[in-house]
Amino acid sequence: MYLSKTNIDCIRNICALTLSIFFLSLPLLSGQSASEDRAILITGTSSGIGLRMTELLSTNGFFVYAGVRTAEDYARLDAMDNVQAIQLDVTIQSEIDAAAEFVKAQGKGLYGLINNAGVVVLGPLIELSEEDMQFQLDVNLFGPYRVTKAFADLLIESKGRIMTTSSISGILAGQRMGAYSMSKHGVEAYTDALAAELERFEIQVAAVEPGNYKSKIMASMVERMEKSGHTSEHSRYGSMLDGLGPLDRSNFKEPDDVAAAALHFMTSIAPKRRYMVVPNEFEAKITIQQVLRELVQLNDDQPFSYTRDQLVEMLDELLEENEKK
């Protein structure tokens, strides 16, 4: 049967709505209501995923401290209901410390933290400058480390929840995206280690792994490259932008499903450790396939290799364990 573009778009919209309804219909925290006005800090809220998270959480019973870097974004976010904008660059320790003191002084406590601020740096790893690599890791990996550390006491006091925005690039890796993937692979490890360390304090920790949604992250990357005078003249690879797909993401799907995942994590009695949220089946498939590919590579011709049947049995046990959560 032939499907027109209109029909395909309709099916995609229905699937997106179904996913949002799924997240929102899962069990919520017993006794929680909109009137409780629990406080959450979200970094990187000026646009894209962070802005949508702020909009959704602030209209669903949470008071949001919205981290921004510019005066213009501060005014715009601060004008929203149930939102208090905060000057917060995750690479500047003094701003992080000031934000922590400000939140403490408000007396609302802090139930949740969403480390969302992120950037992308492109370039072949054998040509990428150390300065660019440092910038990539400083924002995406050291940022969550710094912010979480600064707000740890408040979160321990509330037995709260911490989510960090990772990416399917925390599973995948490819040419010219190495620095970004390294930062997001680091977020995956950070999430697991942090969860193990904070379990004693009854704090839930998760990562959300979005696929390709509407955002300004690529546009910001191109702007930084232009300001730095980037040229492909001396590169072995030509232009860093070749073959990367659309850099303009303004026509991509809105990140509503990613925000819905954050809402589920902050409200569910059974939050997940990982929320892979992608706009299409292709992105889900390549991500899951990569996890399986790594399993096969790890198991290949090593002294303690498992048979296919043993691997299937392990998978069945893990699926059963997950269903019981």
Q: How confident is the model at residue 14 (pLDDT cuts 50, 70, 90)?
A: very low
The reply to whether 200 and 150 lie within a common domain is yes
* For residues 198-215, average pLDDT: 94
Domain with 88 in it: what CATH number?
3.40.50.720
| Torsion region of 89: left, alpha or beta (phi above 0 gives left; psi -120 to 50 gives alpha) | beta
The reply to whether 264 and 303 lie within a common domain is no
Question: Using alpha carbons only, what angle is made at residue 127 by residues 122 and 133, rounded to the nearest 5 degrees?
Answer: 55
> How many distinct structural domains can be found in the chain?
2
Is residue 147 included in any domain, yes or no? Answer: yes
The reply to whether 47 and 124 lie within a common domain is yes
Is residue 41 included in any domain, yes or no? Answer: yes
* For residues 266-295, average pLDDT: 97
The reply to whether 171 and 296 lie within a common domain is no
* Residue positions annotated with a catalytic role: 180
Q: What are the b/e assignments for 8-19, b being 16+ CB within 10 Å?
A: eeeeeeeebeeb
Using the predicted structure, report yes or no on whether residue 205 has a pLDDT greater than 80: yes
- Which structural domain, as residue segments, surrounds residue 92? 19-279
The reply to whether 196 and 231 lie within a common domain is yes
pLDDT digits (tens, 9 = 90+) for 44-88: 999 999 999 999 999 999 999 999 999 999 999 999 999 999 999
Highest mean pLDDT among 25-29, 250-254, 263-267: 263-267
The reply to whether 178 and 292 lie within a common domain is no
